[in-house]
Amino acid sequence: MKRHYTRTALLVAVLFTVVTLCGFAGGAQEKVSEVDITFWQHSYPPLNAWTQKHIQGFMAANPGITVNFELIPFEEYIQKVFTALATRQAPEVFESDDFTFAQFIENKALHDIDPVVFGYSNLGDFTAAFERNSLELVTVEGKVFAIPYDWEAPVIGYNIEIFKKAGINPQSLKTWKQHGQAAQKTAVHDSNGVLTTAGMCFVHNIGEYYQHIGNTLFRQAKVSILNKNKSAATLNDPNADRVFQLWNDMIFKYKADDPGFTGSFYTEEFGQGRVAMGWMLTWANSILAPHDYKKGRDFDLIPVPTFEGGDTGTISSAWNWVVNANISNAKADASTKFLSYKSDQGDTFLTEAGLVSPKKGWREKVSSEDLALYDEIFNSLGRSRPHDPHPKYQEIWKPIIKVFQTCEVDPNANVRQLLKVGEQEINDIVQ
Amino acid sequence: MISTRRDNLYGYIFILPAVLVLGCFFAYPILKTLYLSTAEWNMLSKPKLVGFKNYIRLFQDGDFYKSLWVTIYYVFGTTLLNIPLAFLCAVALNGAGRAQGFFKGIYFTPVVLSTVIASVLWISVYHPYSGIMQLLPLPSHLKVQSWYQRPDLVVPGLIVFTLWKGIGLYIVIFLAALINIPASYQEAAQIDGASFWQSLLKIVIPMLKPIFLFTVVICVVYSFQNFAIVYTSTKGGPNDYSKILPILIFENGFKYYKMGYASALAVIQFLIMFFFSYIQFKVFKSEVE
Amino acid sequence: MGFAGAGRRIVMKALLIALLTVLAFLFLLPIAWWINFAVKGNASLTIGDTLKEIWIPNEFLLFHNLQSAFNLYPMGRFFINSLIVASVVTFFELFIASLAGFSFAKYDFKGKNIVFSAILSLLMIPQVVLVIPLFEVVVALDMVNTYRSLVLPFLVTPFGIFMMRQFCYSIPNDYIEAARVEGVGEFTIYLRIIIPLIKSAFALLGIFTFLRQWDMLLWPLITLSKQAMYTLAVGVSLLQTNVQVPYNALYAVTLLFSIPVIIMYLLFQRLIIESLTMSGIKG
C-alpha cells in the first residue's frame, strides 16, 4: 500500500510540473485585433461590475479595439503600478490618486490626453465639460494628463436618532468648538471608560486619511504646508496649532473619539448606530446601503464645520484615470477613446457604483431620489478646491502625520514644539 | 571525514541543482540591490549614482535607529520566548503518549491559517470593546485600549501574536528531533540516578544542538523579516513604535519612492542579521561548524 | 521504583495533560472566534452586549458567506493555481534541499563552508528589496504571468538546505561507510539510506514549504497582473478593499482554504509515523 501511495504522489507531482513548465496561463483567449490595450483597476466591488459592463459597450462600439480588464487588489495598487513601470510591464491605462499624480508628471510617466480624440475641439471646451475646476489639477502646461473620476468632498454624517435624543440641532454646528461640545454630549462610555458610542469619528487607521482630513483642516485654518513656490515649509504657523489641537481635543478633552474605536473606516459602527458624527465621503453612502442605513431616515449630512474666523471651504480629492507615456500613438488614441466613453457614463456611475463623476451631463439622467443622497456632497464639491501636491508629497506628510499621531496618544502634546520640529523636517526634504 | 576526490566530485554534484537555482535567480537581485544602494531611484526614471550619500544619511537618520531598536526588541522578545517554550512543549508532548497527536495538531493549527487574515483577526482580539481581551483575567488598565494602539504595548502585543502563530512550527520541529532520540538514552541515565531534568539537560539538549542552532537562527531570521505580520497588524504604528526594519525599507522604497535609500537600508539590515547569525553559530559551536 | 514512584508518575502525567489542555484552550480561543465570524452574517460581526451573544453564533451562514466570496471572484481558479504552485515547489524543494543538505553535512569539499554561508546569507536579505530586481529577471526570462514565475525562483530555499543539513548531521557515518564498503553508489546511498533516515525532516520541510508557498503574498501580488493566474493569497487580498470589507466572507474563505494545508499536514504526519514503526535500518 505504501508503494502505491508513493507512486500516485510521484505521478501527481510530475503532472503538475509539466503543467507548470508549459506555462498554462489560461484565461480568456485574447482576440487578435488591431489595437490591444490593458486597463488595471483597483478592486472595488460596486465599481468592478460597472467597469466590466462599459468595457463591453465600448468594445462593441469600437470593433478594432480590445480592452483587457484586470482587477488589482487595492492594498498595494500603487506599489504594483510602480513596479510595473520600473520593469516596463505597465498597462496602457491605469489609475492614479491626486498625490501620486505629481510624481508621475515630474517623471514624465504619463501620456497627455488629446482633447480632439477625446471629443472636443479645443482645451477650453474640454475643461468646460468637467465640473468646477476638476480638470485644473491634472492640466500641466496646457495639456491634460488625467481624467478624474470618483470625485470626493468631505461632509459630516450624523445619526438622526442620537441627535434627536440629545436635543441638539445638527444644522447649528458651524464651528469646531460647537461641534466638539456636541460630540462630547453624544459620546457614550462603558464602565471601564471604553468609548462605546463615538461622538465624532475622525479616521485614524487608514494612512491617507490624515492627509485627506488634514488638507481640509489646513485650508480652514488658512495654513499652508509649503510656500507659493513650494520651496520651503510654512507649517510652523500659529494658525496651524488649532488643527492639531482639535485632533487632540476630540480625543482627550471632549472624549468623543478614540484611535482604537474601530479597525478601519467606521462605517460598520456607523451602520450599527454607534457613531454620532463622522467624517464622511461620497462612497461611504454606497457602503451604508447594505446595512440598510438610509439617508433621511437613519442618518443625514451637514457641511464640515470650520474654525472661528476660518475658511468654510474644503479640499476635494479624486482618483484619476491615466495613460502610460511609453506606448504607441495608436494605443494612446485607443486609450483616450476608452476614457472618453467611460467618463460619459456618469449616471450609471452614481446609481450602480455609488460614486460621483465630475464630467457634466449626467445629473439630468438620474432620478431625484438617487440624487438626493448626493446633493449635499455635491454642493460641498462647489466649495472645494483641489490641492496641488508636491512630487515628494508622501515624504512631506511623514512629519505631519507624526504630529497627528503624537496628538492622538499624548494628552499633553506640545503642539508648538512639534510643529517647529515638523517644519524643519519638511525643509530638509524640499531643500 | 577526509577530503577525497570522491567527496569533491559528489559533493559538488549534489549541491549543483540548489546552487543553480539560487544563483540564477538571486545573483542579479543581490548585485542590483548593492548597486542601487549607491544611487537614488524613484522607479520611474533612471537611477542616479550618488556614492555613499545614502549610507551617510542612514547613520544620521533618527527613524533608522528607532526602527532598529524596535526590531531588536521584537526579534529578541520573540526568539527568547519562542524557542524555550517550544522545546518545553515538545518535551511535554513527548511524554504525553497517545494524546500527543491531538495536542500537536491544536498547537499547529494557527500555523496553517492565512497569515494576513490571522493578523486581521488579532486586531479584533485586542479590541477593547468585544475582543478576547475582555475574557482574560487581566488588570483593567490593560484592557481599556487596544494593545496595538499603545506605544508601550504594541510590540508585546505583536510578540504574543507571533508566538501564537508560529510556536507550533518549532514544537513540531523539536518533537521530530526528540523522536529520533531513542528513549533508551534517557532511561539509562535515569536508572543511573539522574533526575528527569538532569537527563534532559545533560543528554537530550546536547544531542539536539544542531536543531537548536537551526531553530534559533531561523526564528531570529524570520522575526527580522516579519514584514507580513507586523505590516498587516499595525502598519508600523502607533507612531512608528512597531516599525520594524522591513517596514521602514518597504515604506522608503514603495511609499516615498526612494528605492536607493531603501536598498541601503536593506544592505545594513543584512549586515546586522549576518552579524547576529555569526554570533549564534559561534555560541552553538558544535563539531558541525 | 516501587509503588510510590509509580504513583508520582501518574500525578506528573496528569499534571502534564492538564497544563497541555489549558494551553490548548488558549490556542483555540482565537480560532473559535475565527469560526464564529465565518459563520455569522455580516451585520453581527463584533457586537453583542453579552458574552454569549459574542461567542455563540445564533445563525449558521457559513455557506452563504462562502457563496458571496465565490460570487465576487473566481476563488476556485485561485485555489487551483495555489495548489499547483505549492505542490510543485514542495516536491522539488524536498529533493533539491535534501541533496544539498546531505552534501553539506556528510561530504567535505573545497569551499564548502563559503558556499554554505553564502546560501545562508540569502535568508538574511530583506525580501522587500528583492522584488523588483527578481521581477526584472522574470521579465528577462519571459515568464511574466506564468506558473514558472511563481515556481522557479522558489524551487529551493536556504531554509530547506539549512534544515536538511542539520538533520543529516544526526546520521551516523557508519551507515554510509558500510554502504560504501559494499560498493553502493553515492546517489543510491542518498536514495536508499539517507532519505529513509530523515523521513521526519522530509515531512517537516514538506509541510513548511507547502505552507510558505500557500501563504506567500508579496511576490504574486506585485508580479501577477492577470487575474486568471492569481493565487489564493492574492484572491483574498482582492476581498480586502479598503472599505466595505466583507469580513464574514473573508474569514469563511480563509477557513475553507486552510483545509488543503491541514490535509498536507496529515499526509506528511503519516510519513513520520511510518518511519517510527519501520524497524531499524538495513545494516
Q: What is the DSSP letter of B287?
A: T
H-assigned helices in A96-142: 98-106, 115-118, 123-128
- The more confident residue out of B182 and B44 is B44
- Length of chain B in residues, anyone? 289
Q: Which cell numbers in the block locate residue A108? A: 514624465
Question: CA B200 to CA B94: how far, in whole Å?
Answer: 12
Q: In chain A, which residue's Cα lies nearest the Cα of B46? A: A86
Question: CA A20 to CA C82: how far, in whole Å?
Answer: 12
Q: How far is CA A385 from CA A130, A204, A350, A411, in A?
A: 14, 23, 21, 33
The residue whose grid cell reads 487574515 is: B117
What pLDDT, on a 0 to 100 scale, did the predictor assign at position A335? 94
What pLDDT, on a 0 to 100 scale, did the predictor assign at position C274? 59
Please tell me chain C's helix, strand, coil percentages from 3-state DSSP, rounded to the nearest 5.
75, 0, 25
- Check pLDDT > 60 for residue C283: no
What pLDDT, on a 0 to 100 scale, did the predictor assign at position B156? 92
Q: Which amino acid is at B120?
A: V
Domains of chain A: 35-151+318-386 (3.40.190.10), 155-315+389-430 (3.40.190.10)
What SS3 class is residue A409? helix
Pick from C132, C152, C265: which is nearest to B112 by CB? C265
Per cent of chain C over pLDDT 90 is: 21
Mean pLDDT of chain A: 85
Q: In chain C, which residue's Cα lies nearest the Cα of A286? A: C244
Residue B44 in contact with partner chain A when CB distance is under 8 A: yes
A45–C151: do the CB atoms touch at under 8 Å? no
What pLDDT, on a 0 to 100 scale, did the predictor assign at position A61? 93
What pLDDT, on a 0 to 100 scale, did the predictor assign at position A200? 92
Mean pLDDT of chain C: 81
pLDDT in tens, A193-211: 778 899 999 988 777 888 8
Using the CB atoms, write b or e for B8-23: b if 16+ within 10 Å. Answer: bebbbebbebbbebbe
Task: Tell me phi and psi for residue A190, to 5 degrees.
Answer: -95, -175
CA distance B237 to chain C (A): 18
Please, which residues 240-259 of chain B have a Cβ atom closer than 8 Å to chain A? Answer: 240, 254-258
A104–B45: do the CB atoms touch at under 8 Å? no
- Check pLDDT > 90 for residue B250: yes
- Check pLDDT > 90 for residue B190: no
β pairing state of A195-197 and A65-72: unpaired
Whether the Cβ atoms of residue B209 and residue B96 lie closer than 8 Å to each other: no
CATH code, domain with B75: 1.10.3720.10
Question: Mean per-residue pLDDT for B166-193?
Answer: 78
Q: Which cell numbers in the block locate residue C184? A: 553502493
What pLDDT, on a 0 to 100 scale, did the predictor assign at position A23? 59
Whether the Cβ atoms of residue B257 and residue A103 lie closer than 8 Å to each other: yes
For residue B226, the tally of other CB atoms under 10 A from its CB is 23
CA distance A395 to chain B (A): 6
Chain A residues closer than 8 Å to B238 by CB: 259, 405, 408-409
Per cent of chain C over pLDDT 70 is: 86
What pLDDT, on a 0 to 100 scale, did the predictor assign at position A213? 92
Chain C residues closer than 8 Å to A86 by CB: 132
Whether residue B19 lies inside any domain: the answer is no
Per cent of chain B over pLDDT 70 is: 88
Pick from A19, A86, A286: which is nearest to C132 by CB? A86
For residue A368, the tally of other CB atoms under 10 A from its CB is 8
Confidence band for A361, pLDDT divided at 50, 70 and 90: confident
ipTM of the complex: 0.85
For residue A416, the tally of other CB atoms under 10 A from its CB is 12
Whether residue B239 lies inside any domain: the answer is yes
- The more confident residue out of B197 and B178 is B178
For residue B28, the tally of other CB atoms under 10 A from its CB is 16
What pLDDT, on a 0 to 100 scale, did the predictor assign at position C279? 36
What pLDDT, on a 0 to 100 scale, did the predictor assign at position A235? 87
Name B284's bridge partners.
none
- Length of chain C in residues, anyone? 283
- Check pLDDT > 60 for residue A67: yes
Per cent of chain B over pLDDT 90 is: 37
- Check pLDDT > 70 for residue C5: no
Residues of the domain holding B211: 62-283
Chain C residues closer than 8 Å to A73 by CB: 221, 234, 237-238, 240
What pLDDT, on a 0 to 100 scale, did the predictor assign at position B287? 42
DSSP string, C241-260: -SSS--HHHHHHHHHHTTHH
C102–B14: do the CB atoms touch at under 8 Å? yes
CA distance B169 to chain C (A): 8
CA distance A49 to chain B (A): 26
pTM, full prediction: 0.88
How distant is the alpha carbon of residue A17 from its chain centre?
A: 43
CB pairs under 8 A between A and B: 66
B116–C237: do the CB atoms touch at under 8 Å? yes
Question: CA A45 to CA A49: how far, in whole Å?
Answer: 7
Question: Mean per-residue pLDDT for A97-119?
Answer: 91
Q: Which cell numbers in the block locate residue C45? A: 460581526
Question: Mean per-residue pLDDT for A307-325?
Answer: 89
**What is the rounded end-to-end Cα distance, in angstroms, of chain A?**
73
Question: CA C208 to CA B172: how far, in whole Å?
Answer: 11
Task: Tell me phi and psi for residue A97, to 5 degrees.
Answer: -90, 175
A25–C45: do the CB atoms touch at under 8 Å? no
Task: Tell me phi and psi for residue A315, to 5 degrees.
Answer: -110, 125
- The more confident residue out of A244 and C109 is A244
What pLDDT, on a 0 to 100 scale, did the predictor assign at position B161? 94
Q: How far is CA A193 from CA A78, A189, B128, B142, in A?
A: 39, 5, 10, 12
pLDDT in tens, A391-411: 888 889 988 988 998 888 888
Rg (CA), chain A: 24
Question: CA B106 to CA B108: how far, in whole Å?
Answer: 5
Domain C72-277, CATH: 1.10.3720.10
How distant is the alpha carbon of residue A418 from its chain centre?
A: 28
CB pairs under 8 A between B and C: 254
Q: In chain C, which residue's Cα lies nearest the Cα of B135? A: C51
| Total of domains in chain B | 1
Strand order in the sheet with A155-159: A277-280, A155-159, A299-302
What pLDDT, on a 0 to 100 scale, did the predictor assign at position C276? 52
How distant is the alpha carbon of residue C66 from its chain centre?
A: 24
Per cent of chain A over pLDDT 90 is: 36
